[in-house]
Chains A and B, each alone.
Chain A
Amino acid sequence: MAGPSIVAGAAYLPGHSLTARRGVLLACAADEDAVTLAVDAAERALAAWAGDRETIDALFVAVHYGPEVEGPQSQLIREALGLGASTAVTTFVADDLAGVAAIQGALAACASGAAQRALVLGADIGEPALRRGAGAAALLVEPKGDAGLRVRELGRRCALTHERWRASPEGLREPDLRFLEHRYAELAEGVLAGAEPAGPVVLTGGSANARRQLRAAGLGGAPDGARAEALDLGIAAPLFAVVEAGAGEGAPVTLLAHGSGQSVLLELERAPGGRFELPAALEPGPPPSPPTAVGPRLSLPAESPFFARTWGESLRGEAARCASCGHVAFPPSQRRICPKCTGREWERYPLPRQGTVLSAVRNRFLPDGFPSELVFVLGELQDGYHYGAPAPAEVGIEQLAIGTPVQLRLRRFTVRDGVPVYSLKFVPRR
């Protein structure tokens, strides 16, 4: 197989769901956002890939809109993942096909030699009012992969459409769905004409009604077991479909991705050896608690150099290990001299993310700006090292009895002046 290919991939599906007209609609926890979803998906993909993340030199991020992309959020993702400071970071936003653009951008970068290894992330916090679910997926692209998926664009059609991609402040006013369906059916017909897909076609994006109409017209027909159509993950949906295609076997899968007035037809040709990991079977979760617009005030503004100095290591959960005695210290920026042996040589030491609860306590008496109850966890990580972190609001203390397996995950800690501040939190292992 010549040319770039997608060699690995994984997805992250949030644990909450809402009842929707056509089944489950996934939703984020109150302290999840595009950054945390992207990091969760990326960590899974990087684990499946099992390569050296320091060799990744390009990051393509697709997110949807609004607060998700205000400020340098893609840099937060890069830093949290521990990708190098020379990584080329490109962000695609405000387009339902941003995920497809990110995939194609990565493939083009690898094909041209501009990138050696690219990580592609799509994350969507969902929009219940528009019946769009939340989720994220991540893909690894290499220039001369001999395994995994090779992508070929079979066709593309564009048109003026009036679909809305974000709920307006004054509330949702449905566009004319029948006209939209008509338009997308037209686009689909155009793009499929003469394309002769080799196998079943997976549809993502567009309105749900449009997809149903397309299937009724014989233009759809997802492969057995495909969930990409059922789980509308917004911008992440095409990436999720790619992960599903990669995890399967046999004839090429054709992906018909709609959105923002475009229909794109991609052929995903499969070769063995790709490392794709799909989330376990989905169990509908509880509805999410409403997100808090404003979090607790910090002792200093989030933009203070005070925070900047420990920002990266806090996002990554990166400790340091003493080169002389092996003592592990966190945060490394506050421990330049080893408290065990006074050594001054350190090596980077990523903290394990899995552990068990040593102690969990509910604090119900907090200053203004904090939630009325916050659970604090002291955990023992797999290497025996201890770490203290809060639990997300949706996790009750009854889920955190001493000895419970937990994992550290990146979540929002607070938002001040529109600037989100992230921290690791302990959540029960799913």
Chain B
Amino acid sequence: MAWNRVAIVGAGMTLFGECFDLGLEELAAEAFGAAVDSVEEGIDVRDIGAAYYANVVGSLQGNEIPSGAALANAIGLPGLPTTRVENGCPSGSDAVRQGCLAVASGVVDVVAVVGAEKLRELATRNSLLESARMGHPLLSYGATATTIFAHQVTRHMHEYGTTREQLAAIPVKNWENALENPKAQRKERITVKDVLDSPLVCDPFTLLDCCPQSDGAAAVLLCRADRAHEYTDHPVFVAGLGLATDPLYVHEKETLTGWACTRLAAERAYEMAGIGPAQVDVCEVHDCFSGVEIINTEDLGLCARGEGGAFAEAGETRIDGVMPVNPSGGLIAKGHPIGATGVGQMVELFQQLRGESGERQVRLDNGFALQHNVGGYSVGISVVTILGREA
């Protein structure tokens, strides 16, 4: 029996990409407005009892330290109890999770969750790459996002024979999906050869194996499940939630071909939703780098351990495959404005489960969708959310 105590009644997002002319507050306000406007029966924003704000690097980018007050003011609701969530790459999905817990607690009935990020306030070399200086420098040695994922993908290739071409199949698919997504950052068709021929960023990833650095914002409106129909005839229910942490540093991890936190978070979410991977119709999976999507599909139980590469290469994760993964274009092609990413995935799945995704609409058999992020410094945290269209 699915958890289903909370429903999503509205969802919206900005364009992900290089939004040079929009600041953090403008992006947050635009996404919030889009979510409000998406509510079919309309919503009085004064119904909102609390807000959660996902943002990761705001204070490193010249913005005021983005506390909850920054969001409350940006969306025109000063006074609203608002909490900032900074929890690595799953910040957005954890903000949704926190909103769900707040609603389920009975303290508030309607919650706004906004994820917003400005990574392009600085040139890419000095933007997210500054993470090389985060963490303990004598344990990270300048590890950037690629480096902290690369060892696992390298081991996966070594132990399971996953090929470079199989990695490249991920960006090829996700860029193709993004062609149909008006909010996506990347709008081109690429080939496996393009991926292999692009410049090396960090073994085994070339430039096209990597997600871009993005600006953007996304928002969802959460509501007590039994009041959802006041706002829409097509709510999407939160069927299950899971968050888990991993042994922190790469030298502490016990598995080198997957992330224990994703496996554990998925286990918790599936159990809460009362379903297994076979009932998932569509998923948005953390694909910051090509091989990471392959490993995640295994960790989430969407294919057998060690077979993620062949699974993707065979087209099984395409929109028309047996398990569509990242119909939005994923982080690689839709973009990865960190704090907004998880919320943006919810926006995609909200629309998919309501059959509103147009050319990239997947076939819905069971009515369940899965959202997943993994990251945090040293890849130490994962969130899995299962959404369903039936209460």
B142 to chain A, nearest CB (A): 5
For B146, the chain A residues whose CB sits under 8 A away are 363, 365
**B102-156 at interface with A (beta carbon < 8 Å):** 125-126, 129-130, 132-139, 141-144, 146-147, 150-151, 154-155
Task: Give A390's nearest chain B residue, CB to CB.
Answer: B141
A227 part of interface (Cβ distance < 8 Å)? no
Task: Give A298's nearest chain B residue, CB to CB.
Answer: B137
Check A331/B250 contact, CB under 8 A, given A358-B151, A365-B129.
Answer: no
B189 part of interface (Cβ distance < 8 Å)? no
Task: Give A306's nearest chain B residue, CB to CB.
Answer: B136
Check A365/B201 contact, CB under 8 A, given A378-B151, A385-B251, A388-B249.
Answer: yes
Query: Is there an interface contact between A310 and B133, defined as CB atoms closer than 8 Å?
Result: no
Query: Is there an interface contact between A413 and B154, defined as CB atoms closer than 8 Å?
Result: no
For A359, the chain B residues whose CB sits under 8 A away are 150-151, 154-155, 158, 256
A414 to chain B, nearest CB (A): 8
B247 part of interface (Cβ distance < 8 Å)? yes
Which of these binds chain B: A141-149, A194-202, A237-245, A367-375? A367-375
B202 part of interface (Cβ distance < 8 Å)? yes
B336 to chain A, nearest CB (A): 15
For A346, the chain B residues whose CB sits under 8 A away are none
In the complex the two chains form, what is the Cα distance from A209 to B136 in whole Å?
A: 50
Task: Give A362's nearest chain B residue, CB to CB.
Answer: B203
For B142, the chain A residues whose CB sits under 8 A away are 296, 363, 366-367, 370, 374, 390
Check A386/B133 contact, CB under 8 A, given A314-B138, A358-B151, A358-B155.
Answer: no
Query: Is there an interface contact between A366 and B132, defined as CB atoms closer than 8 Å?
Result: yes
Digit string of B229-266 for contact with A (CB within 8 Å is 1, else 0)? 00000000000000000010111110010000000000
A130 part of interface (Cβ distance < 8 Å)? no
A12 part of interface (Cβ distance < 8 Å)? no
Query: Is there an interface contact between B202 and A362, defined as CB atoms closer than 8 Å?
Result: yes
A297 part of interface (Cβ distance < 8 Å)? yes
B171 part of interface (Cβ distance < 8 Å)? no
Query: Is there an interface contact between A330 and B202, defined as CB atoms closer than 8 Å?
Result: no
A86 part of interface (Cβ distance < 8 Å)? no
A341 part of interface (Cβ distance < 8 Å)? no
**A364-417 at interface with B (beta carbon < 8 Å):** 364-368, 370, 374, 376, 378, 385-390, 397, 402, 413
Query: Is there an interface contact between B251 and A365, defined as CB atoms closer than 8 Å?
Result: no
Digit string of A333-355 for contact with B (CB within 8 Å is 1, else 0)? 01000010000000000000000
For B125, the chain A residues whose CB sits under 8 A away are 365, 367-368
Query: Is there an interface contact between B154 and A361, defined as CB atoms closer than 8 Å?
Result: yes
B335 to chain A, nearest CB (A): 18
In the complex the two chains form, what is the Cα distance from A390 to B140 in whole Å?
A: 9
Check A367/B251 contact, CB under 8 A, given A297-B133, A331-B139.
Answer: no
For B134, the chain A residues whose CB sits under 8 A away are 299
Task: Give B158's nearest chain A residue, CB to CB.
Answer: A402
In the complex the two chains form, what is the Cα distance from A26 to B235 in whole Å?
A: 74
Which of A361, A374, A387, A388 contacts B204, CB < 8 Å? A361
For B129, the chain A residues whose CB sits under 8 A away are 365-367
A138 to chain B, nearest CB (A): 25
A64 to chain B, nearest CB (A): 27
- Give the number of chain B interface residues (Cβ < 8 Å): 36
Task: Give A422's nearest chain B residue, CB to CB.
Answer: B138
A307 part of interface (Cβ distance < 8 Å)? yes
Query: Is there an interface contact between B251 and A310, defined as CB atoms closer than 8 Å?
Result: no
Query: Is there an interface contact between B126 and A364, defined as CB atoms closer than 8 Å?
Result: no
Task: Give A319's nearest chain B residue, CB to CB.
Answer: B251
Which of A361, A390, A423 contacts B202, CB < 8 Å? A361
For A366, the chain B residues whose CB sits under 8 A away are 129, 132, 142, 144
B200 part of interface (Cβ distance < 8 Å)? yes
Residue from B129, B155, B203 whose CB has the most chain A CB atoms within 10 Å: B203
Query: Is there an interface contact between A388 and B250, defined as CB atoms closer than 8 Å?
Result: yes
A397 to chain B, nearest CB (A): 7
A192 to chain B, nearest CB (A): 51
Query: Is there an interface contact between A386 and B137, defined as CB atoms closer than 8 Å?
Result: no
A268 to chain B, nearest CB (A): 41
Task: Give A381's nearest chain B residue, CB to CB.
Answer: B251
Residue from A364, A367, A389 whose CB has the most chain B CB atoms within 10 Å: A367
Query: Is there an interface contact between B147 and A376, defined as CB atoms closer than 8 Å?
Result: yes
**B192-251 at interface with A (beta carbon < 8 Å):** 199-204, 247, 249-251
Query: Is there an interface contact between B144 and A331, defined as CB atoms closer than 8 Å?
Result: no
Query: Is there an interface contact between B251 and A374, defined as CB atoms closer than 8 Å?
Result: no
In the complex the two chains form, what is the Cα distance from A297 to B137 in whole Å?
A: 10
For A298, the chain B residues whose CB sits under 8 A away are 133, 137
In the complex the two chains form, what is the Cα distance from A376 to B250 in whole Å?
A: 11
For B150, the chain A residues whose CB sits under 8 A away are 359, 361, 363, 376
Residue from B141, B154, B155 whose CB has the most chain A CB atoms within 10 Å: B141
Query: Is there an interface contact between B126 and A367, defined as CB atoms closer than 8 Å?
Result: yes
For A387, the chain B residues whose CB sits under 8 A away are 251
In the complex the two chains form, what is the Cα distance from A402 to B141 in whole Å?
A: 20
In the complex the two chains form, what is the Cα distance from A389 to B103 in whole Å?
A: 45
Task: Give A378's nearest chain B residue, CB to CB.
Answer: B151
For A363, the chain B residues whose CB sits under 8 A away are 142-144, 146-147, 150, 201-202
For B139, the chain A residues whose CB sits under 8 A away are 314, 331, 388
**B155-209 at interface with A (beta carbon < 8 Å):** 155, 158, 199-204
For A367, the chain B residues whose CB sits under 8 A away are 125-126, 129-130, 132-133, 142, 144
Task: Give B141's nearest chain A residue, CB to CB.
Answer: A390
Query: Is there an interface contact between A413 and B132, defined as CB atoms closer than 8 Å?
Result: no
B204 to chain A, nearest CB (A): 7
For B204, the chain A residues whose CB sits under 8 A away are 361
In the complex the two chains form, what is the Cα distance from A358 to B255 in whole Å?
A: 12
Which of A362, A365, A374 contacts B141, CB < 8 Å? A374
Task: Give B210's nearest chain A residue, CB to CB.
Answer: A365
In the complex the two chains form, what is the Cα distance from A196 to B141 in whole Å?
A: 56
Query: Is there an interface contact between A310 and B136, defined as CB atoms closer than 8 Å?
Result: yes
Query: Is there an interface contact between B138 and A423, defined as CB atoms closer than 8 Å?
Result: yes
For B203, the chain A residues whose CB sits under 8 A away are 360-362, 397
In the complex the two chains form, what is the Cα distance from A287 to B251 in whole Å?
A: 33
Task: Give B204's nearest chain A residue, CB to CB.
Answer: A361
Query: Is there an interface contact between A361 and B251, defined as CB atoms closer than 8 Å?
Result: no
A396 to chain B, nearest CB (A): 12
B289 to chain A, nearest CB (A): 11
Query: Is there an interface contact between A358 and B138, defined as CB atoms closer than 8 Å?
Result: no
For B143, the chain A residues whose CB sits under 8 A away are 363, 376
Query: Is there an interface contact between A423 and B141, defined as CB atoms closer than 8 Å?
Result: yes
Not counting A299-B135, A364-B202, a sample of 7 additional A-B residue pairs whose C-beta atoms are within 8 angstroms of each other reads A314-B139, A360-B154, A361-B154, A361-B203, A363-B142, A365-B144, A390-B141
A-B contact pairs, 5 of them (CB 8 A): A334-B136, A339-B247, A358-B155, A365-B129, A413-B138
B interface list, Cβ under 8 A from A: 125-126, 129-130, 132-139, 141-144, 146-147, 150-151, 154-155, 158, 199-204, 247, 249-253, 256
Per CB-CB distance, the 10 closest pairs between chain A and chain B, nearest first, are: A361-B203, A299-B133, A386-B251, A359-B154, A359-B151, A367-B129, A361-B150, A363-B202, A390-B141, A378-B151
